[in-house]
Amino acid sequence: MKKEIKIEGMSCAHCIIAIEKELSKLDLKKADVKIGSAEVEFDKSKVNEKEIANAITEAGYKVIS
């Protein structure tokens, strides 16, 4: 499954690195993080959307629903 996630509070490359670090802890097929958003590809049997949102929150940013 592919999902585009809007993220609030990002402003620089450090923000991207912080989110990539947290997302790398999950079993994602792909994570393309840009300022203000992330496009993730994942297997729903291994990772759910709440876990992805929690990883972004753990990095210090807010997921916009």
Could you say which DSSP state residue 10 is in? -
What CATH code would you report for 2-64? Answer: 3.30.70.100
Strand partners, 32: 39
Per-residue pLDDT tens over the stretch 12-28: 999 999 999 999 999 99
Please state, in angstroms and rounded to a whole number, the distance separating the CA atoms of residues 6 and 46: 22
The overall longest dimension of the chain from CA atoms, in Å, is 32
**Region 33-54 average pLDDT:** 98
Q: Under DSSP, is residue 52 helix (H, G, I), strand (E, B) or coil?
A: helix
Q: Is the pLDDT of residue 65 over 90?
A: no
Burial label, 40 (beta-carbon count in 10 A; 0-12, 13-18, 19+): buried
Per-residue pLDDT tens over the stretch 24-43: 999 999 999 999 999 999 99
